[in-house]
Chain A
């Protein structure tokens, strides 16, 4: 897999071939607290960059998850729907949200590297 790229809305994306895997960052889960509900998109759905694509709810509130990149959904992670707490334990690994077929790889250029994202979080703690 390629290096992870990060959005300002705390999603990560990692691309292999023309398939991108998207999830939410560890920092996002720390802001949200205990995750109790997840809704993921159906395969076949087309999404635009920055469009609301999934939902995550913690004991505190509901939050939208945006796709950091345009494409067509090829798979969603049903295991996080059945076990939402797993998003807290492994947000940047096994608890990815959805995979999509990338429409335009150049969209990745607008996203942040790991180092840039860490700096962004340090400057914008909440």
Chain B
């Protein structure tokens, strides 16, 4: 498969981006300031992220569309209000997570934001539950730009009046230079901010406005440190087809009505786990000192028994400490439990920690 580029590729290049192949796209991992500065400037001011590689999947149809989608998505789509969004997943028959996603109720139906690496397969999985008269398509004519940070609202309001009225996890249509934009107040950094769905032919104009307002570009590197500090999962690392929402400590994302009524993939398994508990659980891990416990680091109990594995680990620039998350035997999942981490053949101390590591600043 040929490597793809987003509409902003040349602009990234001019901003000094270092590119890496990611999910079939050539994406900036960082720009000239580097990951730590990009991270810090997002938390102290604002940063913009090109996330156009993610799938913007639109679904249109009558009431039967909800029935179909609820078979694979455990959110309560019946009560989802127009322009409101929910974090949810696609589930397989065992309750394993095929992908995690944000679903928004639109006038015509729904819009689902899918992970880039999963989007093709997701469309196949979702389509199994669609009827002939349901319309569905990934819109590749749209870019997706995240603007994140405490100054995001002030900056975007200058260009697009009214965005400051949006509450967290809601969206609306806005106009920029005669083109329709769909903007949601959301993001994946633990900061206030927006995700802006914008036609490819207008996206450079938006980015130039951000740059004029001293907003720094942020690459995938800092996106990862920001989301990990905020305790958010990265699909393919913290979540995959063999982990389910209960083990992943994401029960909150399964709607109450759906937990009781079921009728979605993997419900039997998930119900069992809700009642009986899961053997393992996703937790935050704080390694002692500065040692970094990266993905696949083994976790041991204080007595030396192997009890789990790290799924994400890095240095958190805002908490100024090594941070990680992983799956651990539920018996050892209580906050504060002392553990050991095996890094390069040596054992280092650590403890189970609350998530997030960095307190979220959402505007509700």
The digit string for B27-56, where 1 denotes a CB below 8 A from any CB of A, is 001100011100000000000000000000
Chain A: interface size category:
10 to 19
Is A36 in contact with chain B by the CB < 8 A criterion?
A: yes
A17-25, A53-61, A70-78, A92-100: which one contacts chain B?
A53-61
* Bound Cα distance from A33 to B317, whole angstroms: 13
Contact B36 A34, beta carbon cutoff 8 Å? yes
Q: A37 within 8 Å of B by Cβ?
A: yes
Task: Compute how far the CA of A120 lies from the CA of B148 in the bound complex, rounded to whole angstroms.
Answer: 41
Instruction: State A28–B221 Cα separation when bound (angstroms).
Output: 18
Secondary structure dominating the interface of B = mixed
Given contacts A55-B344, A59-B36, A59-B315, contact A36 B30 (CB under 8 A): no
A84 within 8 A of B: yes
Residues of B within 8 A of A59 (CB): 34-36, 221, 225, 314-315, 317
Query: Would you call B290 and A36 a contact (CB within 8 A)?
Result: yes
Q: How many residues of B contact A (CB 8 A)?
A: 16
- Alpha-carbon distance between A36 and B319 when the two chains are bound, in angstroms: 13
Check if A121 is an interface residue, CB within 8 A of chain B: no
B231 to chain A, nearest CB (A): 18
Q: Which of A33, A84, A85 contacts B30 (CB 8 A)?
A: A33
Q: How far is the CA of A58 from the CA of B291 in the complex (A)?
A: 11
Shortest beta-carbon distance from B30 to chain A in Å: 7
| The residue from A57, A60, A62, A84 contacting B221, defined by CB atoms under 8 A apart | A60
A33 and B221 contact, CB distance less than 8 A: yes
- Point out the residues of chain B lying under 8 angstroms from A61, CB to CB: 294
What's the minimum C-beta distance from A106 to chain B, rounded to whole angstroms? 31
Interface pair B221/A37, CB less than 8 Å apart = no
Bound state CA distance, A62 and B34, in angstroms?
Answer: 16
The answer to whether B35 and A37 touch across the interface, beta carbons within 8 angstroms, is no
Query: What are the residues of chain A within 8 A of B221 when measuring CB–CB?
Result: 33, 59-60
| Chain B neighbourhood of A57, CB < 8 A | 292, 315
Whether, in the assembled complex, B312 has its beta carbon less than 8 Å from a beta carbon of chain A, the answer is no
Contacts of A55 in B (CB 8 A): 344
Establish whether residues A34 and B35, one from each chain, have CB atoms under 8 Å apart when the complex forms. Answer: yes
A37 touching B29 in the complex, CB below 8 Å, given contacts A55-B344, A59-B36, A59-B314: no
Contact yes or no, A37 B225, CB < 8 A: no
**Contacting residues of chain A (39-59) with chain B, CB-CB under 8 angstroms:** 55, 57-59
Residues of B bordering A, CB below 8 Å: 29-30, 34-36, 221, 225, 290-292, 294, 314-315, 317, 322, 344
Q: Which 5 A-B pairs have the closest CB atoms?
A: A36-B315, A59-B35, A34-B36, A37-B290, A34-B34
> Can you name 9 A-B residue pairings with CB atoms under 8 Å?
A33-B34, A33-B35, A37-B292, A57-B315, A59-B36, A60-B221, A61-B294, A62-B292, A84-B290
